[in-house]
Structure 1
Amino acid sequence: MTHDNTSASPRLPTYFISHGGGPWPWMKKEMGPTYDRLEASLADMPRQIGRTPAAILMVSAHWEAPAFTVQGSAKPPMIYDYGGFPPHTYEVHYDSPGSPELAQRVQSLIAAAGLPAQIDPQRGYDHGMFSPMAAIYPKADVPVVQLSLRRGLDPAEHLALGRAIAPLRDENVLIVGSGLSYHNLRNFGPQAHGVSKAFDDWLDAAVVKSTAGERSAQLLQWDSAPAARMAHPREEHLIPLMVAVGAAEGEAGERVYHEDAFMGGLVVSSFRFGG
């Protein structure tokens, strides 16, 4: 992997994307139009970025570790971390290359910020990575390295992680936080419209309409937001947002995907910062 540091290539934005449920790109016959709008928003990211990044660093909601851990394999295997889906979805492949070089760079940046960091040479790709990536870069021709959340899910610590890895944006590496803006599997569908809207309205105000300085302060108090714990009984699908915000602190935010009847009634969003 080569880093592009030329002045002709301005720093890349960061993203927080809603990655959908399970292996949805491989279930279009079963799902019908459910994912059409989310898929279109993900597929539009290369156009928004305006160039092909050297690599993608993806922070997935589906990987937590005692220390911030970077995927170090040159060819990561697949992790089918879902249950109850059709047999063919346990054979899908998203065969993008990894990047041991980028993994070393990421670990060094995190450690330099005084945060615990390690490399896992065996870790594979989970569906928080390969499901959205199947829409973003369907040819799997851009290297992707995953970075874990840290157990405890401390918002401040994940904002600090974002600040630590921000230099990657000037090295043509795209930072993507992959989660869901609403994630309560016990309350999905039309009956969850009200609570998902209440939290989504707060989220949009916090990350888009507030000043960049206010944004981080509000995110630190996210669980005081309207319907916060109804939207996220456990916050692992929200915390990747903190990383995307920390890596673009002080820069503007924009909502790049929004749907008010996802999966029959959920209000969900994705955001881009800077760039």
Structure 2
Amino acid sequence: MKLPAPKAIISVTAHWEEPQVTVSTAPKPGMLYDYYGFPDEAYQVVYPAPGDPALAQRVLQLLAAAGIPAAADAARGFDHGTFVPLLLTYPEAKIPVVQMSLVKGLDPRLHSAIGTALAPLRDEGVLILGSGLSFHNMGVFMRGMGGGTGVQKFKPSEAFDAWLGEAATQRRGAARNEALAAWAKAPGGRESHPREEHLLPLMVVAGAAGEDAGATDFNDWLMGARVSGFVFGA
């Protein structure tokens, strides 16, 4: 699904956790290569999109109004949870980007509430991007890295993907948020997310969606696991 170009982007990245919600305020964010063991080329990628200090302050104001503690970070650069998807989606790097952290403890209801607080930004032309993954079990991925047709499909991922798709697209508002908050009890939940940081960006986006419907935008097998992407209100 092709989305219209937004005025600005908030990237909720699975690769940044803080004691409270933290937003990047740098006007010209640098790069944060938060990975290791890759070819040299992986450390030469540059995504020179501008930051948006005014939008960052707007985010902080909305969170404060909702009673959610938040902080600013003027130093953090774009991590790969931000620059990889945006390099593929908006390669011209002209749209301002504000990066936002998860909150340590990874409470799904808190992250839904964060999204709800940010919902007014959608009417201001801001895209709220949840950058994580619907399945994130590195042991399974490592086994599937050989590629080819002989990769064994991890059945719990299929069960969880079906549950997640139903929860994200067949319910709305508070009912959707509560369904997603119970992800660990879903079929294949913990097998798909031994640690849930890659699932939490979805909670923020779903919270911001309010009563708007969700739709499955992507669904495929990745290194033996079933994965999906979702879009709301498009």
**TM-score, with normalisation over the residues of structure 2?**
0.93
Distance in 2, Cα, partners of 1:212 & 1:115: 19
Q: Which residue does the alignment assign to 1:10?
A: none
1:175-186 aligned within 5 A = 175-186=128-139
SS in 2 for 1:145: strand
Name stretches of at least 5 consecutive residues in structure 2 with no aligned partner. Answer: 145-150
Q: 2:212 is matched with which residue?
A: 251
Q: Within the alignment, does 1:271 sit opposite 2:224 as a pair? A: no
The 2-side partners of 1:159 and 1:144 are apart by: 21
The one of 43, 52, 65 equivalent to 1:112 is 65
Map Cα deviations across residues 44-80 of structure 1 (whole Å, 9 max, x no partner): 5xxx333x21100010000000110000100111000
Matched, 1:135 2:93: no
**Which of 210, 222, 226 matches 1:262?**
222
SS state at 2:187 partner: coil
Q: Distance in 2 between matches of 1:232 and 1:262?
A: 15
Deviations 1:32-52 (A, max 9, x none): xxxxxxxxxxxx5xxx333x2
Report the alpha carbon displacement of residue 210 of structure 1 after superposing the two structures with TM.
3.3
Tell me what 1:40 maps to: none
Query: Which residue of 1 is the match for residue 49 of structure 2?
Result: 96
Alpha carbons of 1:167 and 1:211: their partners in 2 closer, same or farther (altered >3 Å)?
Answer: closer
248-257 vs 204-213, which moves further: 204-213
Question: Which residue of structure 2 aligns with residue 197 of structure 1?
Answer: 158
**How far has the Cα of 1:193 moved from its partner?**
2.6
Mapped to 2, the partners of 1:73 and 1:222 lie a distance apart of 34
Runs of 4+ in 1 over 4 A off after TM superposition: none
Aligned to 2:77: 124
- Does 1:49 find its partner at 2:3? yes
AA paired with 2:181?
Answer: L
Instruction: Return the offset for 1:91.
Output: 1.6
Return the structure number with greater relative CO, CA threshold 8 A, min gap 6: 1
The residue type equivalent to 1:225 in the other structure is A
Distance 1:69 1:115 in 2: 11
Which of 188, 193, 206 aligns to 1:227? It is: 188
Specify every segment of 5 or more residues in structure 1 that has no aligned partner in the other structure, as ranges: 1-43
Which of 78, 81, 89 is the aligned partner of 2:31? 78
Deviation at 1:262, TM superposition (A): 1.7
Letter in 1 for 2:42: T
**Deviations 1:187-237 (Å, cap 9, x if unpaired)?**
122345311111100000111123544311211111000111110000000
Q: How many equivalent pairs are there?
A: 226
- Cα RMSD between the aligned structures? 1.2
Instruction: Give the match's secondary structure for 1:70.
Output: strand
The residue that corresponds to 2:122 in the other structure is: 169
- Rounded to whole Å, the distance in 2 between the matches of 1:251 and 1:122 is 35
